[in-house]
Structure 1
Amino acid sequence: MSLKKDLDELLDAEVITDEMANRIRAYYMERKGGRSPHRLILAFGVLGALLVGLGVILIIAHNWDKLQRPVKLLFAFLPLLIAQGIALYTLLRKSGQSAWREGSAVFLTFAIGASISLVSQIYHIMGDLSSFLLVWSLLVLPIVYILRSSMASLLYLIGITAYACHEGYNYPSTPPTLYWLLLGGAVPFYYRLCLQAKNSNFTFFHHWFFPLSLITVLGGMAERQEELMLLAYFSLFGVLYLMGKLPYFSTLLKRQNGYQVIGVAGMMFMLLIWSFDEPWREVSRHTFYMSGEVFLPIAFVLLNMGMLYLYWPKDKKDTIDPLAYISLVFVLIFLVGTEHAVAASLLVNTLLLLVGVWVVINGSKRQALGELNFGMLLLAALISCRFFDSDLSFVSRGILFVVMGVGFFMANYWMLKKRTGHEGK
């Protein structure tokens, strides 16, 4: 019998949990990968390309001022020509070897950046960092598809994120609306990677880089109504969490599922920040008006609602995950906060308390030690925020922190004892 069939049978019989099944799959995948030197060769190939590229740049930079302009121009294009030659050789002779594709793609990516910057310096071509990053990223994008390079794709995501941040966060700032088109350029490659290399480490990195890029850039889209970004961010975290719950991602381990981890962590972090009164007072003092900035938060809210509709259990046996609906509840709290700051703060604290209690209870039922600790950590963070927000004495705060620490210890001890008892039967 196959491993998949055996695990499905054990899951149907409720002998093991989903978390245990995921761990078993990961264990056998790691064992299978550990027998082949493929990953090691790939890692050394990429590392070697990085070191060669950086070494060439440092050698040229050391003697740059002593060189004549024609020699400078030669050195400006020489790394690019060498990198293109290696890339052409890879396509003609080594296209089936990922180590060659990844290494040549990384070398060519850095050679392009070095050539652009050197030519600009030689001829004193004026320009800012954002235009340099934009041109560099646009030239890297074809490399991603021609060489089928996952590493070039990750570098491209870093490049467009840096470009968007420079545009959106530097004064005078301009919303980097071109970022959405640039991000869409990497989506087809990411989609193909998910289909053809689901268990590749490069695919797992993409599961983290895509949401992190979105979160980093989103704040730069605001112009005059920054408060609206609160709705956009929270809805985005809700969308990311729901994406992590899709069948494709739900079978992954937590460290591989960047969407779910970032989504839930982002929602909890924002709830803790907005559990204080002062941020809501800023929102209640702001006068909102119709402008182009309104459409982005609305789009994320509608996208979140659409995914919630798809996620709604179709079978009576399916359970409802309250964490999936936090983002929708927060939209209602935000509407309250535009008029009543104290009421919104009270609602956020109540929501955090309910979520923390539910996570602890659910983790206890499922015997999931990580989930139990996450729930208790969330409750401890909420209590800590209220302690530092109150006039309690240091002795009272110290006693309460000791009580929380003991609670953590007792809960983990009880869970481990319960697990040991089940294993002994």
Structure 2
Amino acid sequence: MKSKLLNDISELLENNIISQEVASNISAYYKSKEDNQPNRLFTVFGVLGATLVGLGIILILAHNWDNFSRSIKTCFAFLPLVIGQIISGFTILKKKSQAWKESSGTFLFFAIGASIALVSQIYNIPGDLGSFLFTWIVLALPLIYLLKSKAVSILVIVFASYYACELGYDFGYKDSTPWMYLVFILATLPFYLKLLKTSPLANSTSIFNWLYVLSLTIVLGTFINSNWPVGFLMYAMLFGVFYNIGKTPIYKDQQLRRNSFTVIGSLGSVVLLTILSFNIIWEDLVKRASIAINTQEMLIATVLLIVAFVVLLYSKKNEKNESFNLFQYVFLIVAIIFFIGVANAIAATVLTNILLLVMGLSAIKIGADTFRFSVLNYGLLIVTAVIVCRFFDIDIRFEVKGLLFVAVGFGFFLTNYIMLKKKKELNR
């Protein structure tokens, strides 16, 4: 038990705030709570140790590989897999600690990949990296639920993302859409949802929050084929989904470092609109974009739009007298601007810049009302980004540009100073 807690209990006893019986009950409660908690450091080093052992075995075998016969090579190929299964089975049957589950799951995960690779090499089985990753992930997926392993779930998400990028971004293969990536991600969701229910504020849950958001953001581009201009619309809808998920009850009260949905949803929307604020982008979109509803990109964008709208309604249903938040509706506005832009590039450029400017002013207002300097400066950065980007579109003298930069910098300083002064006055 932590010494600070013991000191607090002793102090309460000395001042007759609590009785000896209450003090004993409190001590017993926290003692039992600590006993039931897994040793996090031991779990981390267990996973790291299992990974290093697995890699070490592979390196030792690789160094002497050419000296072995085919039968011995085959035995060595399955040996890590057998060892991993024995350890995992022992962990399940004996109901060992979480550290055992994470370590054995991690070792078996890499043993599966090593065995597949070695058998393919020994018997010259043809294939490519995409099919290898697919087989590996399919065989490793059940370990998430058999061992209730967070480490294995993280590895599956990471390797599923790698698989999708390998297929979809055409790294030496025919460009194809990695639909099985969606199946892999959906297969991990029940485990993630259980973590959200049992331990929403745990650091491991925060890792999953960021992992899902980053994975989907990176992989969405693999679903863009010939109609790439609609990819802008797809990403706008995805960021709308993220931001509104971040405003649902389970996430909105969490710290920003845990709420990856709000962070990436907001930043992604701002970056995307900053790119679209250039007229040259819209002119290219007018030439190339196809808004035919039967294209893969348009169908995905439509599905994401529906999902974002449903999540928006759900988040608003649970809000009580909260102020209007423009960022929650950006995806709808971008959808309208996109269809305008297909017909008129200039109108879309003007509307995009206006939307960005209003978003910046909205963030400044939210930051000023809530005395949150991070939100205030975020809004100022958005406004600054609009001004800086327009320097590339408008031909004005360098002296004027310099004066504008000075004015923007002075605005940063003045705004923060005024808000800091008001905050000090309220705290008096």
Alignment pair present for 1:41 and 2:42: yes
Equivalence for 2:20: none
Equivalence for 2:146: 146
Equivalence for 1:191: 193
Deviates more, 1:380-389 or 1:320-329: 380-389
Equivalence for 1:398: 402
Does the 8 Å CA contact 1:151/1:202 hold for their aligned counterparts? no
Q: Deviations along 1:316-343, whole A, 9 cap, x unmatched?
A: 7232211100110010000100011111
**Partner Cα distance (2:209, 2:50) in 1:** 24
Q: Deviations along 1:215-259, whole A, 9 cap, x unmatched?
A: 111111122211222222111110110000000011211010111
Q: 1:77 to 1:393 in 2, by over 3 A?
A: farther
Q: 1:267 to 1:414 in 2, by over 3 A?
A: same
1:389 CA displacement: 2.9
Moved over 6 A (4+): none
The higher radius of gyration belongs to 2
Does the 8 Å CA contact 1:238/1:304 hold for their aligned counterparts? yes
Equivalence for 1:67: 68
**Partner Cα distance (1:389, 1:40) in 2:** 54
2:255 aligns with one of 250, 253, 264: 253
**Partner Cα distance (2:212, 2:71) in 1:** 42
1:287 CA displacement: 5.2
1:116 CA displacement: 0.7
Equivalence for 1:88: 89
Show the 5 A alignment for 1:3-402.
38-95=39-96, 97-170=97-170, 171-286=173-288, 288=290, 289-293=292-296, 294-312=298-316, 317-402=321-406
Residue type of the partner of 2:307? L
SS of alignment partner, residue 131 of structure 1: helix
Q: Give the TM-score taking structure 2 as reference length.
A: 0.87
**Partner Cα distance (2:412, 2:138) in 1:** 50
Root-mean-square deviation over aligned CA pairs: 2.0
Deviates more, 1:307-316 or 1:327-336: 307-316
In structure 2, the gaps of 5 or more residues are: 1-32
**Partner Cα distance (2:289, 2:368) in 1:** 45
Equivalence for 1:13: none
Q: Deviations along 1:269-291, whole A, 9 cap, x unmatched?
A: 10000000111112111252343
Deviates more, 1:329-338 or 1:66-75: 66-75
Alignment pair present for 1:422 and 2:423: no
Q: 1:396 to 1:287 in 2, by over 3 A?
A: closer
**Partner Cα distance (1:154, 1:304) in 2:** 25
Q: 1:313 to 1:78 in 2, by over 3 A?
A: closer
Deviates more, 1:173-182 or 1:305-314: 305-314
**Identity between Structure 1 and Structure 2 (%):** 41
1:85 CA displacement: 1.5
Residue type of the partner of 1:260? T
Q: Give the TM-score taking structure 1 as reference length.
A: 0.87
Equivalence for 1:408: 412
Does the 8 Å CA contact 1:231/1:301 hold for their aligned counterparts? no
**Partner Cα distance (1:86, 1:419) in 2:** 58
Does the 8 Å CA contact 1:359/1:371 hold for their aligned counterparts? yes
Deviates more, 1:263-272 or 1:403-412: 403-412
1:306 CA displacement: 2.1
In structure 1, the gaps of 5 or more residues are: 1-31
1:309 CA displacement: 2.6
Q: 1:37 to 1:104 in 2, by over 3 A?
A: closer
Residue type of the partner of 2:269? M
SS of alignment partner, residue 338 of structure 1: helix
Give the length in aligned residue pairs.
391
1:313 CA displacement: 5.7
Deviates more, 1:307-316 or 1:155-164: 307-316
1:180 CA displacement: 1.8
Residue type of the partner of 1:163? Y
SS of alignment partner, residue 72 of structure 1: helix
1:292 CA displacement: 4.1
Does the 8 Å CA contact 2:228/2:289 hold for their aligned counterparts? no
**Partner Cα distance (1:189, 1:75) in 2:** 33
**Partner Cα distance (2:289, 2:197) in 1:** 47
Residue type of the partner of 2:160? I
